[in-house]
């Protein structure tokens, strides 16, 4: 059972998938609000893997909005705060628990060093332009467990089709330091000896570009069905790794489907 990332709340896909999609600060009126999400996610075993799995997911969250429209939130997706320093501009600051990599998800990872769970700090600024959003974001592993630093720039668009049905689209471009890249697809001498792959030292820089589409359907004022799909294509630092070049793919897909209950 995994923590579910819904694509409801804004358009850029968390990491800026983190923002334009995550229900971190979901209260719109002063006071308390609560959220429960249930669904399933389809995703690759690791960055660039061609092995996929589908797992059930869930989300629990609570948020409190103050009189000056600052929203504090806590839930399975982390703890954070959202506020508007200027009109039509959002800032989101979050601490999120990041799961490590389960080497059992893909046979090629047998013998690789485990990637540990960690905590990441995330900061995002989003500018709203009518139905469009543009944003910048960053993630930093604050426990120094290999996830390193990742930066994002993205844009999103949302349009209502009926009173209950809406669709959204997004694109984001990501960059990362060498620590992050090597945790994802690097191959140490020990990994090479255990797996039979050639060793590989990934460099920092451009990571990849992601495109996403989503649909939201409001069953009631408090219950929303959501469906999302995204495709990501990786730059050479990722795609040149033997993990990706010889045993994976330079393009991967993800999808999620579920229901959100708001109280």
The token pair at 256 is: 């999620």
CA 226 to chain centre: 16
Looking at residue 10, its pLDDT comes to 39
pLDDT tens for 124-181 read 999 999 999 999 999 999 999 999 999 999 999 999 999 999 999 999 999 999 999 9
| pLDDT, mean over the chain | 91
The total number of structural domains in the chain stands at 1
- Tell me: the pLDDT tens digits for 26-73? 556 789 999 999 999 999 999 999 999 999 999 999 999 999 999 999
Mean pLDDT to the nearest integer, 7-28: 43
CATH at residue 29: 2.40.160.40
The predicted-structure confidence for 178-216, as pLDDT tens digits, reads as follows 999 999 999 999 999 999 999 999 999 999 999 999 999
At residue 5, the pLDDT reads 55
Q: pLDDT band for position 1 (50/70/90)?
A: low
Q: Measure the CA–CA gap between 92 and 225, rounded to whole angstroms.
A: 24
Strand partners, 188: none
Comparing 12 with 71, the larger pLDDT belongs to 71
Contacts by 242-245, CB closer than 8 A, 24 or more apart: 242/187, 242/197, 242/198, 242/200, 243/46, 243/48, 243/49, 243/108, 243/185, 243/187, 243/197, 243/200, 244/47, 244/48, 244/49, 244/185
Sign of the Cα torsion 35, 36, 41, 43 reads positive
Residue with tokens 């690097």: 186
Q: For the whole model, what pTM was predicted?
A: 0.89
Q: Is the pLDDT of residue 238 over 60?
A: yes
Q: Is pLDDT at 12 greater than 70 in this prediction? A: no
Q: What would the pLDDT profile of 67-88 be if each residue is shown by its tens digit? A: 999 999 999 989 999 999 999 9
Which range, of 92-106, 211-225, 231-245, averages the lowest pLDDT?
92-106
Closest CA to 64 of 100, 17, 104, 32: 32
At 231 the pLDDT is 98
Domain coverage including residue 152: 2-262
Burial of 189 (0-12, 13-18, 19+ CB in 10 A): exposed
């Amino acid at each position: 059972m995994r923590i579910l990332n819904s694509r409801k709340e804004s358009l850029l896909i968390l990491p800026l998938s983190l923002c334009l999609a995550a229900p971190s600060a979901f209260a719109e009126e002063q006071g308390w609000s609560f959220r429960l999400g249930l669904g399933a996610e389809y995703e690759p075993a690791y960055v660039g893997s061609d092995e996929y799995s589908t797992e059930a997911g869930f989300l629990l969250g609570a948020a409190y909005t103050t009189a000056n429209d600052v929203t504090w939130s806590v839930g399975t997706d982390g703890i954070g705060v959202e506020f508007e320093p200027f009109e039509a501009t959002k800032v989101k600051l979050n601490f999120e628990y990041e799961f490590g990599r389960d080497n059992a998800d893909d046979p090629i990872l047998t013998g690789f060093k485990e990637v540990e769970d960690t905590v990441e700090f995330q900061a995002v600024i989003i500018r709203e332009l009518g139905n469009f959003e543009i944003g910048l974001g960053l993630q930093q592993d604050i426990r120094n467990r290999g996830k390193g630093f990742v930066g994002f720039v993205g844009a999103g668009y949302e349009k209502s089709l009926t009173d209950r049905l809406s669709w959204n689209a997004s694109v984001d471009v990501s960059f990362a330091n060498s620590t992050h890249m090597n945790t994802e697809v690097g191959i140490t001498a020990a990994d090479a000896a255990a797996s039979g792959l050639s060793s590989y030292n990934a460099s920092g820089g451009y990571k990849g570009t992601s495109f996403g589409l989503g649909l939201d359907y409001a069953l009631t004022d408090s219950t929303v069905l959501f469906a999302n799909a995204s495709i990501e294509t990786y730059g050479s630092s990722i795609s040149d790794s033997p993990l990706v070049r010889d045993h994976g793919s330079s393009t991967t897909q993800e999808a999620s489907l579920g229901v959100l209950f708001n109280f």
